[in-house]
Amino acid sequence: MRWSQTYIPTLREKQSEAELVSHQLLLRGGYIRKLSSGIYLYLPLMQRVIHKFSNIVREEMNRAGALEITMSVLCPAEIWQESGRYNTVGKEQMRLTDRHNHEMVLCGTHEETVTTLIRGEIKSYRQLPLNLYQIQVKFRDEIRPRFGLMRGREFIMKDAYSFDATEESFKESYQKMVDAYFRIFNRAGLDVVKVESDTGAMGGKAAHEFMFLVDTNAGEETILICQKCGYSANVEKAIFRDLEKPAAENELKEMETVDTPNASSIEEVTAFLKVDSRKLVKTLLYIADDKPIAALVRGDREVNEIKLKNSINAIELRMATPEEIEQHTGAPVGFSGPVGLKNIPIITDSLIMDLKNFVVGANAFEKHLVNVNMKRDFQPTKVVDITLAEADDGCPHCGNKLIAQKGIEVGNTFMLGTKYSEALGAKFLDDQGEEHPIIMGSYGIGITRTPQAALEKYYDEKGIIWPKNIAPYLVELIPISMDNSNQVETADKIYKMLIEANIDVLYDDRHERAGVKFNDADLVGIPIRITIGDKSLKQGKIEIKARCEKEFSLVDVDNTLEAVKQLTKKIK
RNA sequence: CGGGGUGUGGCGCAGUCUGGCAGCGCGCUUGCUUUGGGAGCAAGAUGCCGGAGGUUCAAAUCCUCUCACCCCGACCA
């Protein structure tokens, strides 16, 4: 492609709307433009990147035996009502009515649609297993779109759905997808880690996320990794072994009320009472589906709200306001405690089981209770793990210390079980003639998000450095001067040579000064640059350089193709 | 939804406090010169100052309402 024939509106100056480097680079490099909050237009270069990446995805999905289909973005609301998700997805689902006043939704995911398709088609175990996928637009009316393509309201996703008759068969299907995912991200030049994750609104039994590890603040998720045994999980999900157990005590002391003037925070109370924060129990009031609950965690720990939410099967969970705290406990913030709480479920973290003679708020202003003991002084409604795991906690499997890393979720896999097949009636007959719901899995990859995520890592102060397999073009051809017939003839010749070899070339044929072309080339980030200038052309040579390297090499004009092939092999 | 902020030419911004010809840099157009890392000179074009209403002789500027966008939080396939 000739630069003069395509549309690459690069921008010299920083764009104020973009915070992240990757977002900034896509705007400045002429890859995307914003139409409205969270809605982006893909310009020619971005379109090519999307094609490159989705082709990798398509090839690997096909190789894994999945079948490509396309399902409509628009979908009748009934099937979402049938699955029960209509009431739980929340406001991010775009809803509208058609001219017949029929309720419709724009899909953010397609479990309902694909299950509806399948229930009409699959009747026998002989038709299973089956895996259907599509690469298509999704809509989600995000509360707060941000970070460009990373969290948009409209985006492209590859979503696959597996259908199996037995658990064993499902495990194979799931593993095939996991293997395909590693191949896909590998080919795209991204190192990813697979982590355990919460199932969230998808429901189902278990889930994994594929995380691209980054150092920047774009890492929207924290993951915990054990470098010894390989355990890895999203913090939302991570469990751990407590390496900080306080000293054991046998004797149960008598509970007492003590004054704690000006001491409401954990730090203040521990300092005032001169006790270890691990001997304090924090009582936090939440409102779960409009009802108050108390969550108890050890003083040195934080609540994992996802674990808490899951432990009580709540749909909505939020912290209580200071007014609500006062209303339910009779004391201001900072003095809540489980003793004497009436009609409020007390969800107690399992770490507290090990504690004796601990300190809690007394539900009275500037007062705490010391030497409190579970069962004797209050009854926990439920004892369950609700503590947020942190770096340096012990790995749940081997006890080694966990390390924390930031990651961007680029793919996910869900073990859905029979949640959707039961709700929507997708059943088959087994070889005994018995009817069963189909076992399902669902597998997503962010097609537009992934390339941007890659840019959080692959860039320098000059611009983008695309991994070769998702770059819009492999080679950028730059004649220094378009007024020099020698250079132009050589460039034309090389352009033709590369095209015939099926290599994607961007030929910068603009009548611009060299500096402009070089700067644009660095910004746009094509992996290989070929420069044709008088200096080297005098010796019958051109200059070839990888975007990721500083040095260029001189190559005979006739050897250009070979040099491109060699360099391609060398780079990521 | 709560908190904070910004809307002025295609992009980045000044001007708003203290009302008085709508500006700067980049980009764009034309011409001449230049030509290996974002050229120089000259001449141009481009504004409903986000929108509506109000105050005033006079509003980008003051007041009221409204819309959009950005940041922090809640949310997240």
DSSP state string for A226-280: -TTT--EEETTT---B-S-PPPP--PPPPPEEEE-TT--SHHHHHHHHT--GGGB
| Contact between A386 and A307 (Cβ < 8 Å) | yes
Buried b (16+ CB within 10 A) or exposed e, A496-524: ebbeeeebbbbbbbbebeeeebbbbbbbb
Say how far A11 CA is from B47 C1', in Å.
22
Return the closest nucleotide (C1') to the Cα of A140: B77
Question: Domains (ranges, CATH) in chain A?
Answer: 44-239+404-455 (3.30.930.10), 256-384 (3.90.960.10), 473-570 (3.40.50.800)
| Contact between A124 and A423 (Cβ < 8 Å) | no
Return the closest nucleotide (C1') to the Cα of A220: B76
| Cα–Cα distance measured from residue A263 to residue A277, given in angstroms and rounded to the nearest whole number | 13
Return the closest nucleotide (C1') to the Cα of A151: B76
Say how far A572 CA is from B38 C1', in Å.
28
Say how far A500 CA is from B6 C1', in Å.
51
Helix, strand, coil percentages (3-state) for chain A, rounded to 5, are: 30, 30, 40
Instruction: Give the DSSP letter string of A105-161.
Output: EE-SS-HHHHHHHHHTT--BGGG--EEEEEEEEEE---SS-BTGGGB-SEEEEEEEE
> Own/partner pairs for A139-146, CB < 8 Å, 24+ apart?
A139/A73, A139/A94, A139/A106, A139/A107, A139/A108, A140/A92, A140/A93, A140/A94, A140/A108, A141/A91, A141/A92, A141/A93, A141/A94, A142/A38, A142/A92, A143/A91, A143/A92, A145/A37, A145/A38, A145/A39, A146/A19, A146/A38
Nearest Cα neighbor of A22 from A403, A413, A410 is: A410
Return the closest nucleotide (C1') to the Cα of A27: B11
- Closest residue to B13 measured CA to C1′: A16
- Closest residue to B35 measured CA to C1′: A513
- Closest residue to B1 measured CA to C1′: A143
Q: Angle CA(A560)–CA(A566)–CA(A571) in degrees, nearest 5?
A: 120
Q: Angle CA(A174)–CA(A179)–CA(A183) in degrees, nearest 5?
A: 145
Say how far A127 CA is from B35 C1', in Å.
69
| Cα–Cα distance measured from residue A403 to residue A310, given in angstroms and rounded to the nearest whole number | 25
Say how far A152 CA is from B8 C1', in Å.
28
Return the closest nucleotide (C1') to the Cα of A202: B77
Low-confidence ranges of chain A (pLDDT < 70): 201, 219
Q: Helix (H, G, I), strand (E, B), or coil: what is residue A4?
A: helix
Structure tokens at A263: 């001491």
- Give residue A219's pLDDT: 65
Say how far A50 CA is from B14 C1', in Å.
40
Say how far A561 CA is from B60 C1', in Å.
58
Return the closest nucleotide (C1') to the Cα of A536: B36
- Closest residue to B70 measured CA to C1′: A17
| Cα–Cα distance measured from residue A394 to residue A387, given in angstroms and rounded to the nearest whole number | 13
Return the closest nucleotide (C1') to the Cα of A552: B36
Nearest Cα neighbor of A518 from A555, A492, A497, A545 is: A545
Enter the DSSP assignment of A469. Answer: G
- Closest residue to B73 measured CA to C1′: A144
Buried b (16+ CB within 10 A) or exposed e, A249-272: eeeeeebeebebeebbebeebbee
Say how far A419 CA is from B6 C1', in Å.
46
- Give residue A480's pLDDT: 96
- Give residue A321's pLDDT: 82
- Give residue A215's pLDDT: 82
Say how far A16 CA is from B18 C1', in Å.
30
Nucleic acid strand B: bases within 7 A of protein CB: 1, 11-13, 25-27, 34-39, 68-77
Return the closest nucleotide (C1') to the Cα of A139: B77
Say how far A146 CA is from B71 C1', in Å.
10
